[in-house]
Structure 1
Amino acid sequence: MIAERALKTLEYDKVRQQVATYCTSSIGKSAIEELVPQTDFDKVVQLLEEMDEGLAILRVKGNVPMGGIFDVRPSARRAQIGGMLAAIELMEISSTIRASRILRNFIEDLEADETIDIPHFTMKKEAMPVLTGLQHEINHCIDDNGMVVDSASQTLRSIRQSLRAEEGKVRSKLESLIRGSNAAKMLSDTLVTIRNDRFVIPVKQEYRHHYGGIVHDQSSSGQTLFIEPDSVVQANNEIHRLKMKEQAEIERILLALSAMVQEVASDLFNLVKVLGDIDVILAKGKYGQANKCTMPKMNQDGYIRLARARHPLLPMESAVPNDIEFGKEITAVVITGPNTGGKTVTLKTVGLCTLMAQAGLPVPALDGSKLAVFKQLFADIGDEQSIEQSLSTFSSHMVNIVDILQKFDHESLVLFDELGAGTDPQEGAALAISILDEVHGRGARVMATTHYPELKAYGYNRPGVANASVEFDIETLSPTYRLLIGVPGRSNAFEISSRLGLPESIIGRAKSFTGTDRHEVESMIASLEETRRQSEEDAERSHVLLLESESLRKELQEKLQAYEERKEALDKKAKDKARKIVDEAKREAEAIIAELREMRKNADQVVKEHELIEARKRLEEATPLDNNKVLKKAAQVKARAQNLVVGDEVKVLSYGQRGTLLEKVSTSEWIVQMGILKMKISDSDLEYIKPEKEPVVRTAGVKNRSSHVKLELDLRGERYEDAILRTEKYIDDALLANYGRVSIIHGVGTGALRQGIQSYLKKHKRVKSFRFGEAGEGGLGVTVVELK
């Protein structure tokens, strides 16, 4: 994992906060708070591919339906331990399940769109549990406002009807009182109100004894008493009893629904996890859209190439884009130049873009940018003077650098800002050079900034190191923030002073005080000239190679197109031929089955139904294999024949019979027992048969394979034709296993698959009856079949 100190130093948390604003659910926002850069290359690539799919979906559809999602994990945990969920919690669970169903349908529609490829979203969709049955049960009992409805149970409906009737009687009696001849004089207001869940009337203090009854409350002045008259006390008691009964029935309903939630609590956890993942992916995509970010191509070679990269936390309109490349021949870059020139911004841009990419976030750079996955990233940036530890700026930096030197390796990215600053310039420069030598020498990728002139020559006598600087405009006396790799920073003090009006005599005298190492300067100039000349020659060679490669590419494209056309024609021809063979085999199989059925009719039920099914299965297994499968099977047989031992069960290919190996009589022949016969058979005519793990039990002449046949068939996500074929085979297997009842899971969806399955079951002779599943069996998403 990337060190927390580096994340804090590079302000990664601010990027995370920006991304979180694009989440549509609290689940996604919580997940973003835990989003950290990954160090596993495959995981990073997966995260970026998921984000790129999200970007593609947003470009095509504009938005994704993610409304109505709640973090129901706390509710599911309480249900797991037997707690009773409130109606509002159950409503949130229902809303979340409904939102997942809408999202599933949205992704399925995208899968049918040939213009977009979304394999990762398809996997997310398949990982979402289908809990439509629970949603329907909750919706039957609780409305969108989180209230238990009358129709939740017949008992509740009856109680509430009685309650409304009693309340009506009480109101009627009290209204007759407040309409009396003296009511206007004795009452503070002519209305019926409620205190302590009892119907009362507001009576003036001096007339309290006129109505009798119970005082439940009084006004703040004490002049009005809220009295329950004697004439409605019994009726109010009945209302109170009915309300308690109503509450008890509501609790019973909520407990029953909570028990249903308890059964699928683990599925709810998975559902919330998947929905949160999708929300995070889409938030990354929206962030990328809003900030003109792209997906970088990742590598494990420590290579960084950022095209027109911007600092992620600076406004787009003011951030200056830069091209930054190092990590192959050049593994260390030293940026020199004056303060406020943009050196630190460049350093943070590289660090932040690396962290973002490793967290699966797009980076603010042009398409074609490349970044590496580093196992560790270290950053010593900014003034971290520690008052608590009584450390100076230099000491604070040095404590951090010592820690970095103890932990980094060749798979690390190390960023130093103002290396060696805060102490004597000569000693600071010497320390900076030594530290850079250590980090660069151990194979890490390093980028450092400094204002020491001694480091301007650092990259000219060390292989793998490059100087860089931030451009300064003498005309405007301000930095342009453009990074210039390969060119060391110049001191512009004399030029700036001159433009600001300092007398030339003073500037000339100042120049006489400066000493220059002439050999170092000459070496630097010569190196720059050699670099320029080499660059021009390389550019010319590259142009020639580009023309040649373009011609070769065109030629190869033409040949590839011709090859693909021929390959497609041959594939079509082979498939047509294979289809004809398979169709012929099926027709022959159907003819055999028809003959067997006819024999049964004519032979007074001598041929049993299970024998017909067994025959059909044998015929299906006899369907011709394609050449690849035949060759593979033959190779497996040959390889296994070399390891046969006495007692192995084999198939004698020339006779089509099973047998047992008794004795090896030569290097290539065996004595094989087939029934009552013993024969000498060659290795090449034997096929090893893997023994069955469980003994086959015979009942009434039929093999019992119940251990291999499940009691339910899950067809969710299947195409219609494939689902019918699987159902047909499954019913046959269930009949052979002597099952009396099985379940077919088809889901709710549009209903087309359900109708097709039930239409097939109506026509099947061995289907006694079928029905929809009950609440505990899956509801409308399951058909329960009775077999005969």
Structure 2
Amino acid sequence: MERVLRVLEYEKMKQQLSEHVSSSLGRKKVSELKPSIEKEQILIWQKETSEGANVLRFKGRIPFGGIYDVNAHTKRAKIGGVLAANELMEIASTIYGGRQLKKFIVELVEEEERELPYLYEHAKTIEPLTHIEKAIKQCIDDNGHVLDSASQALRTIRHQVRSYEASVRSKLEQMTRSSSKMLSDSIITIRNERFVIPVKQEYRASFGGIVHDQSSSGQTLFIEPQAVVTLNNQLREAKVKEQREIERILMDLSQQVSEITDELLDNLQTLAELDLIIAKAHYAKVLKATAPIVNEHGHIQLKQARHPLISADEIVPIDVELGGEFRSLIITGPNTGGKTVTLKTVGLLTLMMQSGLHVPVQEESTMSVYQQIFADIGDEQSIEQSLSTFSSHMTNIVQILDKVDFQSLVLFDELGAGTDPTEGAALAISILDYVYERGASVVATTHYSELKGYAYNREGVMNASVEFDVQSLRPTYRLLVGVPGRSNAFAISRRLGLSEDIIKKANEQIDSDSNQVENMIVSLEESKKTADKEQEEAQRIRKDAQRLHRDLTKQMEELQIEKEKILQQAELEAEKAVAKAREEAELIIDELRDMQKKGLAVKEHEIIDAKKHLEQAAPKLTPKQKKIKKQAQKQKELRLGDEVKVLSFGQKGSIVEKVSEQEYIVQMGIMKMKVALDDLQYIENSKPVETKPLATVRGMESHVKHELDLRGERYESAMLKVEKYIDDALLAGYHSVSIIHGKGTGALRKGVKELLKRHPHVKTARDAAMNEGGLGNTVVELK
């Protein structure tokens, strides 16, 4: 395993990861990091990294300052050792940093209601240990200096020390002022922890006392004058007392630490785990990495995969698939074309995933957990062992073949190289067959032309190549799955100016079968490029259609709101007009009755006419409005198949489903849309679909097949056929059907999958098993 980690540059990746740790605890965890072979453990690690990445996304940072690796300090205190002041200060700082980290995570979960189950579980285990932190910080400052307030005795002793120092300095300053001519310099200095002055050699006898040192020339003596000897002795004694008191304080604090060593060591383990998780999250952010979908079935589907050790400006993302219809991928192409990079990308990303790291791929990429990963990459020729390149490779391959099984990933670089091409190619084919029979997943690179046809003659094997641009004479590093690499020797030679006659004669030396293979490969490359372009165009059209649908939906909603506002305003105005007309009519009737009471000639039929006018005071509807009103009344009885007009779009359609009393699904051309009842206008001449008994409907079974074959269909036509087929299958009472779309470029398969995913009557859609058609067939379960 160590050799595989080395050739796949796992340690270099870990060096990048270690740049994101916040403490020596995390750095140690990174150095110990190894891939796991347990899927459950890997999934936990991946979820922890995802949680760390989520915290970085919505908080921008995770507080992890002031934390030290104090394992050695703690263990020494446990066996009775006395810790230094700076060691105790590191313990206090680590306790504080752990408590702040715990507070940060707990508040995210309990107050902001973030979903962080794994980080929360880690954080909850951190013990506060506040009393120890407080005890240490009361005695020691941030620079590791024992404070005067650590004890009353220390305060008194230090007061004496400062008093003695002041007395000594005062005496010596007097001497330097009065005897400056006898001194080499008017300064006070220290030798052997005692205050001295620099006296010229010839004035030695003038001061008496003790000589502690002399200059290199011997012209200056550092003398402790007799007048300060006693004071220096008192100062020295006071400093000894100070040191003893400091040692007593440190011993007491160390004893307190020894009482909580188990809790502290557990905290350190948790902090180390959290530092590693946070480092993984930071690394994922730098790489723009995502969490892959993990399986144990040997299925790999890497989308836009990037090698983490190659600069983002230089790397060309690749798509790699393995484990579905094929377990062996044979990559051919020119040297320096990127074959080995592809091999290392698959291997290193698998190791990263099994170490709990996110990998630099697009979302929804799939990766498999392997029990063993083998790699034969690079020239490992050993001069000491007198092994050739071929012998070195074969020695390694023999060891691989002894251990390989169905839970293995095997990476072969230039398989069979270093010997006679015919024999090397034969050996390579035999080795690939053996590994395939053992059930392993294989990615191999080669430049042998014999292996180009290997994939066509073996089930479960797929060709791939690295694209080469003949015009620029440089590889593009794009991986083309399904297309074998072709020789570019003639094209490159022609591009570089080699005589056409020479190229022609060389071409004549190649048999017709080889020429046919090369022509086939050229055709495949062109087909692949065309398919890729069409897929890109289809994706662009789909995005435009989605955008247009969103815009139309938004416009429809805005029009509906505006329509309701106008109708409300019109109703309000109409009500006001009617109310005003009623008031005026009532006044006229009252006047007529008053006139009648006074004996004036007002006939009863005139009052009846006035009432009639009152009843007719409401606003009159136009014939068109009457028709709309009549149709609106009919809308309450809309049935499946009724032809209607969607007012906000001005388009005709038919009712295909009733969602509720106020909403229907309307089919307009190829588009289905949920429309409110108020936005529908019933069309008189439409004929509703007669509802047949279930037994009658199931009579369709005779002409609706259990499978739909889309091979050869264009994308848009295929999508329409799938929608109609699902409806027919539902009416026929089928519970399960098959849609055959073929493999091809994968664009049609992807479109069918997306349509089925959002279809309201599709329960599940899965790839068919190998005996059912494999990836070229999708089995649909209907609800």
Q: What is the TM-score normalised by the length of structure 2?
A: 0.68
Equivalent residue for 1:313, pick from 290, 309, 315: 309
SS of the equivalent of 2:423 reads helix
Equivalent residue for 1:419, pick from 415, 418, 430: 415
- 1:519 deviates by 12
1:454-465 alignment, distance < 5 Å:
454-465=450-461
Q: Equivalent residue for 1:106?
A: 104
In structure 2, C-alpha distance between the alignment counterparts of 1:543 and 1:49, rounded to whole Å: 30
Q: Does 1:429 align with 2:425?
A: yes
1:667-706 alignment, distance < 5 Å:
none
- 1:193 deviates by 2.0
- 1:403 deviates by 0.8
Q: Equivalent residue for 2:130?
A: 132
1:269-290 Cα deviation digits (max 9, x unpaired)? 2222221221111111111111
Does the 8 A contact of 2:74 with 2:264 survive in 1? Answer: yes
Q: Equivalent residue for 1:347?
A: 343
- 1:458 deviates by 0.8
Q: Does 1:218 align with 2:426?
A: no
Does the 8 A contact of 2:486 with 2:518 survive in 1? Answer: no
In structure 2, C-alpha distance between the alignment counterparts of 1:542 and 1:295, rounded to whole Å: 22
SS of the equivalent of 2:743 reads helix
Q: Structure 1 segments of 4 or more deviating over 4 A? A: 518-533, 536-546, 553-556
- 1:79 deviates by 1.1
Q: Does 1:22 align with 2:230?
A: no
- Aligned CA distance change for structure 1 residues 440 and 356 (closer, same or farther; 3 Å): same
In structure 1, C-alpha distance between the alignment counterparts of 2:754 and 2:216, rounded to whole Å: 93
Equivalent residue for 2:360, pick from 356, 364, 382: 364
Q: Does 1:550 align with 2:550?
A: no
In structure 1, C-alpha distance between the alignment counterparts of 2:275 and 2:749, rounded to whole Å: 49
1:249-328 alignment, distance < 5 Å:
249-328=245-324
Q: Equivalent residue for 2:188?
A: 192
- 1:334 deviates by 0.5
Does the 8 A contact of 1:460 with 1:527 survive in 2? Answer: no
Q: Equivalent residue for 2:683?
A: none
Equivalent residue for 1:84, pick from 73, 82, 85: 82
- 1:545 deviates by 6.2
In structure 2, C-alpha distance between the alignment counterparts of 1:106 and 1:538, rounded to whole Å: 47
| Segment of structure 1 superposing worse, 542-551 or 58-67 | 542-551
- Aligned CA distance change for structure 1 residues 308 and 526 (closer, same or farther; 3 Å): closer
- 1:540 deviates by 5.1
- Aligned CA distance change for structure 1 residues 541 and 89 (closer, same or farther; 3 Å): closer
Q: Does 1:409 align with 2:617?
A: no
| Segment of structure 1 superposing worse, 523-532 or 476-485 | 523-532
- Aligned CA distance change for structure 1 residues 396 and 11 (closer, same or farther; 3 Å): same
| Segment of structure 1 superposing worse, 100-109 or 384-393 | 100-109
- Aligned CA distance change for structure 1 residues 115 and 488 (closer, same or farther; 3 Å): farther
- Aligned CA distance change for structure 1 residues 63 and 402 (closer, same or farther; 3 Å): same
SS of the equivalent of 1:258 reads helix
1:673-721 Cα deviation digits (max 9, x unpaired)? xxxxxxxxxxxxxxxxxxxxxxxxxxxxxxxxxxxxxxxxxxxxxxxxx
In structure 2, C-alpha distance between the alignment counterparts of 1:273 and 1:306, rounded to whole Å: 34
Q: Does 1:202 align with 2:202?
A: no
Does the 8 A contact of 2:35 with 2:352 survive in 1? Answer: yes
Equivalent residue for 1:384, pick from 380, 387, 398: 380
1:510 partner amino acid: A
SS of the equivalent of 2:396 reads helix
In structure 2, C-alpha distance between the alignment counterparts of 1:306 and 1:453, rounded to whole Å: 27
- 1:555 deviates by 10
Does the 8 A contact of 1:460 with 1:524 survive in 2? Answer: no
In structure 2, C-alpha distance between the alignment counterparts of 1:287 and 1:448, rounded to whole Å: 29
In structure 2, C-alpha distance between the alignment counterparts of 1:538 and 1:90, rounded to whole Å: 64
In structure 1, C-alpha distance between the alignment counterparts of 2:521 and 2:217, rounded to whole Å: 97
- Aligned CA distance change for structure 1 residues 548 and 149 (closer, same or farther; 3 Å): closer
Q: Equivalent residue for 1:45?
A: 43
1:376-775 alignment, distance < 5 Å:
376-517=372-513, 521=517, 534-535=742-743, 543=751, 546-552=754-760
Q: Equivalent residue for 1:67?
A: 65
1:232-271 Cα deviation digits (max 9, x unpaired)? 2122111111111111111111111111111122222222
- 1:518 deviates by 7.7
In structure 1, C-alpha distance between the alignment counterparts of 2:37 and 2:294, rounded to whole Å: 12
2:482 partner amino acid: G
- Aligned CA distance change for structure 1 residues 549 and 25 (closer, same or farther; 3 Å): closer
In structure 1, C-alpha distance between the alignment counterparts of 2:379 and 2:111, rounded to whole Å: 54
In structure 2, C-alpha distance between the alignment counterparts of 1:139 and 1:495, rounded to whole Å: 77
- 1:457 deviates by 0.8
- 1:521 deviates by 4.8
In structure 1, C-alpha distance between the alignment counterparts of 2:83 and 2:753, rounded to whole Å: 72
Q: Which runs of 5+ in 2 are unaligned?
A: 532-710, 713-741, 765-783
Does the 8 A contact of 1:107 with 1:121 survive in 2? Answer: yes
In structure 1, C-alpha distance between the alignment counterparts of 2:26 and 2:202, rounded to whole Å: 63
The count of residues paired between Structure 1 and Structure 2 equals: 552
Q: Equivalent residue for 1:335?
A: 331
SS of the equivalent of 1:101 reads helix
Q: Which runs of 5+ in 1 are unaligned?
A: 557-788
- Aligned CA distance change for structure 1 residues 151 and 64 (closer, same or farther; 3 Å): same
Equivalent residue for 2:30, pick from 23, 32, 47: 32
Higher radius of gyration, 1 or 2: 2
In structure 2, C-alpha distance between the alignment counterparts of 1:78 and 1:10, rounded to whole Å: 40
- 1:464 deviates by 0.8
- Aligned CA distance change for structure 1 residues 548 and 203 (closer, same or farther; 3 Å): closer
In structure 1, C-alpha distance between the alignment counterparts of 2:80 and 2:299, rounded to whole Å: 55
2:37 partner amino acid: T
Does the 8 A contact of 1:56 with 1:116 survive in 2? Answer: no
Does the 8 A contact of 1:457 with 1:520 survive in 2? Answer: no
- 1:517 deviates by 3.7
- 1:172 deviates by 2.1
- Aligned CA distance change for structure 1 residues 502 and 377 (closer, same or farther; 3 Å): same
- 1:476 deviates by 2.1
Q: Equivalent residue for 2:165?
A: 167
- Aligned CA distance change for structure 1 residues 537 and 293 (closer, same or farther; 3 Å): closer
- 1:109 deviates by 2.1
- Aligned CA distance change for structure 1 residues 177 and 383 (closer, same or farther; 3 Å): same
SS of the equivalent of 2:759 reads helix
In structure 1, C-alpha distance between the alignment counterparts of 2:282 and 2:443, rounded to whole Å: 31
Does the 8 A contact of 2:483 with 2:521 survive in 1? Answer: no
Root mean square deviation, CA, Å: 2.5
In structure 1, C-alpha distance between the alignment counterparts of 2:223 and 2:746, rounded to whole Å: 102
2:759 partner amino acid: S
- 1:210 deviates by 1.4
Does the 8 A contact of 1:457 with 1:524 survive in 2? Answer: no
- 1:188 deviates by 2.1
Q: Equivalent residue for 2:176?
A: 178
1:626-653 Cα deviation digits (max 9, x unpaired)? xxxxxxxxxxxxxxxxxxxxxxxxxxxx
In structure 2, C-alpha distance between the alignment counterparts of 1:77 and 1:65, rounded to whole Å: 26
1:322 partner amino acid: I
- 1:86 deviates by 0.5
In structure 2, C-alpha distance between the alignment counterparts of 1:538 and 1:149, rounded to whole Å: 73
SS of the equivalent of 1:170 reads helix
| Segment of structure 1 superposing worse, 87-96 or 275-284 | 275-284
1:77 partner amino acid: K
Q: Does 1:119 align with 2:327?
A: no
In structure 1, C-alpha distance between the alignment counterparts of 2:441 and 2:763, rounded to whole Å: 40
Q: What is the TM-score normalised by the length of structure 1?
A: 0.67
Does the 8 A contact of 1:384 with 1:397 survive in 2? Answer: yes
In structure 1, C-alpha distance between the alignment counterparts of 2:503 and 2:100, rounded to whole Å: 75
Q: Equivalent residue for 2:618?
A: none
Aligned-pair identity (%): 55
